[in-house]
Structure 1
Amino acid sequence: MPAPNTAPYVVLDAFTQTPFKGNPAWIVLFPSSADVPSDETLHHIACEFGQDTAFVTLHPHANADLETATFGLRWFTPAVELKLCGHLTLATSSYLFQSGIVVKEVKQLRYETRAGILTAEKLADGKIELEFPGSGAAPVTHSVDIIIKAVKECLGHDVKVLSVNEGARDEFKRFALVEIDPSVDLGSIKAKPEVFAQFKQYELFIITKKSSVPSVDFESRVFGPNIGVDEDPVTGSAHCLLGPYWSDKLKVGSKPLNARQVSPRGGDLVVVWNKPKGTCLLRGNACPVAEGKISF
């Protein structure tokens, strides 16, 4: 029997500095594109881990420019391949900067992804800064009453819904964004995310409110039963819609906003909406928790 192929993997918790908080990110590293197995095998690896998994490929020109390193990057849940994923990209970037895979002169990481070229930089305070596409929100004009009913079934019938929106840009139209009354203690609710599975047109349901915590601008929880994630602990891509929404609502322009996702694990990030450019800067930390090797 031939020896199995193997690849190293690492696990980091993203959008936190505390182990076992934030969003766990499993990262598998391949030395070149020739070493990447089939899509079916990538899916099997994500299923084996039972977690969202990033697959990173070192490109031949990765260190040709001393200040920039380029990698291939794909993201899989146990159910689907994702078009965009913030926590996996942030954790990948943190690991690449810390591990010595890139030379110390490198200032920027570039990723070739399904969403196009994405970039990451390490800031002076140790945070990783991602530049992702962003989108404004547009009011939902269909099935609004049914969506509001589902939100109340998920969170509680006393929860007051203030608005029901979806992403305005094509790549965010499958994100529903629902603002609720700020008096709700969103983090303490035992949610029932399965009620959102009926809305096949949406990958994510993002529930948000203005925060009552002085150091936090807004809070959220994110549910994605249609992509195999009942509740996501901390969701970078959701903040590419949340950042523009709250920047416009709070009339702060390009001022950084402090965001907290109040899932059971919880996590924090800073969001900056660059409206003229149509991009969001996502800033956060990640901490390593495990490493190993997988056979396939």
Structure 2
Amino acid sequence: MKLPIYQVDAFTTEMFGGNPAAVCPLQQWLPDDLMQQLGAENNLAETTFIVKEGDQYRIRWFTPAVEVKLCGHATLATAHIFYTELGYDKDEIVFNSLSGLLKVKRKGEGVYTLDFPADKLHAVTDIPDVIFEGLNIGPVPVFKSSMDYLLVLHTRQEVEALTPDFKTLSTLDARGVIVTAKADGDEADFVSRCFFPPSGIDEDPVTGSAHTSMVPYWAAQLNKTALKAIQVSGRRGYLDCELKGDRVLMSGSAVTYMKGEYYLPG
């Protein structure tokens, strides 16, 4: 059996930037263990599977190790493939997911806006020791979202200088750790890096889902709802964000890297 597969660099306008994701449109679901094997075989932060359900689509995301509840960059990559490869011609796509309804609008030529539910943060006082040990830093404010721990550092330079111990972080009982700081110039309002060893990803290059908690945080800190963000990983990712009630809007571009077929028995 042959099935189509695409690979897309998301949240970038240039190939080899942003975050790569595999996109696999299906007519019907494959067994869960097979989709997980394909996620491991692709060895990307996420492999996305989509099946049409009525007027909407069901979307699922697999890292090399686990299925996750929400993924922004792979949803952006999927929308890009819908418009550039699959002949989709409506202005908005609606996906059903483990995190509820997700929407993607085509904003302009090659630009897409994700409409995701905002995540809530609460301050953490009983902080797992492995967080500071794994990041090799001293105490800083720590918050918890529905999926991740979030740490707020003082400067962009501190975020960029981090050299985590991924083995130590892998023992954390969460999807992973987000580290963020206020930006120091006009290029962005805040920066971040995301480390997800418990989910089989040491550092995720650009993480849309992490911004569903960072955008509400920085909107409150900076007293503004429209924000520019940079994920300062080696590949870099750029997001235009907006807090709109209980939703977070994230806009970015994507570039198709590869398309082909994968072969399955039967």
TM-score (norm 2): 0.93
Contact 1:12 1:25 in 2 (8 A): yes
Q: Which runs of 4+ in 1 moved over 2 A?
A: 146-150, 183-195
Counterpart check, 1:287 vs 2:265: no
Contact 2:112 2:253 in 1 (8 A): yes
Contact 1:161 1:178 in 2 (8 A): no
- Name the SS for the 2:141 alignment partner: strand
Contact 1:15 1:285 in 2 (8 A): yes
Contact 2:73 2:208 in 1 (8 A): yes
- Name the SS for the 1:237 alignment partner: coil
Query: Which structure 2 residue ranges, 5 or more long, are not aligned?
Result: none
Q: How many residues align?
A: 263
Kindly provide the CA deviation profile for residues 255-288 of structure 1, in whole angstroms up to 9, marking residues without a partner as x. Answer: x10000011111111111123xx11111111100
From 26, 33, 38, the counterpart of 1:45: 38
Contact 1:161 1:181 in 2 (8 A): no
Contact 1:221 1:262 in 2 (8 A): yes
From 221, 229, 232, the counterpart of 2:193: 221
How is 1:186-265 mapped onto 2 (pairs within 5 angstroms)? Answer: 186-200=159-173, 202-252=174-224, 254=225, 256-265=226-235
From 101, 104, 121, the counterpart of 1:137: 121
1:166 corresponds in structure 2 to: 144
Kindly provide the CA deviation profile for residues 191-225 of structure 1, in whole angstroms up to 9, marking residues without a partner as x. Answer: 3333322321x212000001113120000000111
Q: Which has the larger radius of gyration?
A: 1
How is 1:39-188 mapped onto 2 (pairs within 5 angstroms)? Answer: 39-51=32-44, 52-59=46-53, 61-62=54-55, 70-102=56-88, 104=89, 106-124=90-108, 126-143=110-127, 146=129, 149-150=132-133, 153-154=134-135, 156-157=136-137, 161-167=139-145, 172=146, 174-182=147-155, 184-188=157-161
Describe the shift of the 1:273–1:147 C-alpha distance in structure 2 as closer, same or farther (beyond 3 A): farther
Contact 1:13 1:21 in 2 (8 A): yes
Contact 1:148 1:161 in 2 (8 A): no
**Could you tell me how far apart the structure 1 residues matched to 2:209 and 2:222 are?**
20
The CA RMSD over aligned residues, in Å, is 1.8
Kindly provide the CA deviation profile for residues 159-216 of structure 1, in whole angstroms up to 9, marking residues without a partner as x. Answer: x65411112xxxx2x311100111634224433333322321x212000001113120
Taking only the aligned residue pairs, the percentage that are identical comes to 30
**Could you tell me how far apart the structure 1 residues matched to 2:156 and 2:252 are?**
27
1:67 corresponds in structure 2 to: none
Kindly provide the CA deviation profile for residues 4-47 of structure 1, in whole angstroms up to 9, marking residues without a partner as x. Answer: x22100000011011111100101111x22xx211111111111
Contact 2:9 2:255 in 1 (8 A): yes
TM-score (norm 1): 0.84
**Is the strand fraction higher in 1 or 2?**
2
Describe the shift of the 1:29–1:185 C-alpha distance in structure 2 as closer, same or farther (beyond 3 A): same
- Name the SS for the 2:209 alignment partner: helix
**Cα displacement (A) at 1:56:** 1.4
